[in-house]
């Protein structure tokens, strides 16, 4: 999209230990030079790795982020992590509303909305995920689902600077299946229009990432679709070779 610098973002999910930091450093090294000139990079690691990821990426053009946050700053919420804690650990971004959180932890649009506001309160950029299930796609309700998720999950104070939207069809995540470029174009144009209705002018400069089975072999086709401003990458972000292979779509 004109005026938008693309972002290639990784989501390590519940993967990664100290042994994975070498892969992260390889991603950092790989982005130095020609890739950093074309795109920004982010890897959202498990919270246990965040401080070490930030240290491993020191001086490299790749940011580290979290994968979820609690809406509150602190308190009696065993096992939860606040946006302020992620910020303190060196994160610049946090994913909120990933479909695995929505499915495994029953997160509603309202919960995701609260988490996005928590991210901003802490000074983090919120990567807000939306996307239809297979049943919704097959019943022809995809655009209505996206409209509902945007209305419910994206706070009206969202700006291009504090928010990134990730369109992730649930049926495309981890399955090897991807929508056609035409379907991606339709969804992203719809998201841009719905965002504009909600946040006005800011929508023109807000990144809309595509996520779901992105790999080096399909990256160019998916990332060259209109209104696709980068990728959110799960499985293929675990290996530097694959993650860099995806980013190379921008070279």
Indicate which residues carry an active-site annotation: 98, 168
Instruction: Please give the Cα distance from 16 to 50 (Å, whole number).
Output: 11
Q: Give the nearer residue to ligand PEP in terms of CB position, either 158 or 214.
A: 214
- Binding piece for ligand PEP, criterion CB under 6 A, among 47-55, 62-70, 111-119, 207-215: 207-215
From candidates 6, 7, 8, 11, binder to ligand PEP by CB under 6 A: 11
235: contact with ligand PEP by CB under 6 A: yes
91: contact with ligand PEP by CB under 6 A: no
Instruction: Please give the Cα distance from 231 to 234 (Å, whole number).
Output: 10
128: contact with ligand PEP by CB under 6 A: no
CB of 180 to ligand PEP, least distance (A): 16
134: contact with ligand PEP by CB under 6 A: no
Q: Give the nearer residue to ligand PEP in terms of CB position, either 99 or 147.
A: 99
Residues near 180 by Cβ (< 8 Å), separated by ≥ 6? none
Q: Give the nearer residue to ligand PEP in terms of CB position, either 49 or 173.
A: 173
CB of 2 to ligand PEP, least distance (A): 25
Instruction: Find out whether 16 and 239 touch, Cβ atoms under 8 Å.
Output: no
From candidates 23, 40, 107, 168, binder to ligand PEP by CB under 6 A: 168
> Is 174 part of any known ligand binding site?
yes
174: contact with ligand PEP by CB under 6 A: yes
> Is 227 part of any known ligand binding site?
no
The binding site for ligand PEP (CB under 6 A) comprises 11, 168, 173-174, 211-214, 232-236
């Amino acid at each position: 999209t004109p005026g938008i610098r693309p972002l290639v973002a990784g989501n390590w999910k519940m993967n990664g230990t100290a042994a994975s930091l070498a892969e992260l450093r390889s991603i950092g090294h790989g982005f130095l030079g020609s890739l950093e000139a074309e795109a920004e990079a982010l890897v959202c690691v498990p919270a246990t790795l965040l401080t070490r990821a930030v240290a491993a990426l020191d001086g490299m053009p790749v940011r580290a982020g979290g994968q979820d946050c609690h809406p509150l700053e602190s308190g009696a919420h065993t096992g939860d992590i606040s946006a302020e804690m992620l910020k303190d650990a060196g994160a610049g971004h946090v994913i909120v509303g990933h479909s695995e959180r929505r499915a495994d932890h029953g997160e509603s649009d309202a919960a995701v909305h609260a988490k996005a506001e928590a991210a901003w309160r802490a000074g983090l950029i919120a990567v807000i995920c939306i996307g239809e299930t297979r049943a919704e796609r097959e019943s022809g309700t995809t655009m209505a689902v996206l409209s509902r998720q945007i209305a419910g999950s994206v706070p009206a104070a969202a700006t291009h600077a504090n928010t990134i939207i990730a369109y992730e069809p649930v049926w495309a995540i981890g399955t090897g299946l991807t929508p056609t470029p035409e379907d991606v174009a339709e969804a992203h144009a719809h998201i841009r229009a719905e965002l504009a209705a909600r946040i006005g002018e800011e929508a023109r400069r807000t990144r809309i990432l595509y996520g779901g089975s992105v790999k080096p072999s399909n990256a160019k086709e998916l990332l060259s679709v209109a209104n696709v401003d980068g990728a959110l990458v799960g499985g293929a972000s675990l290996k530097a070779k694959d993650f860099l292979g995806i980013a190379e779509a921008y070279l």
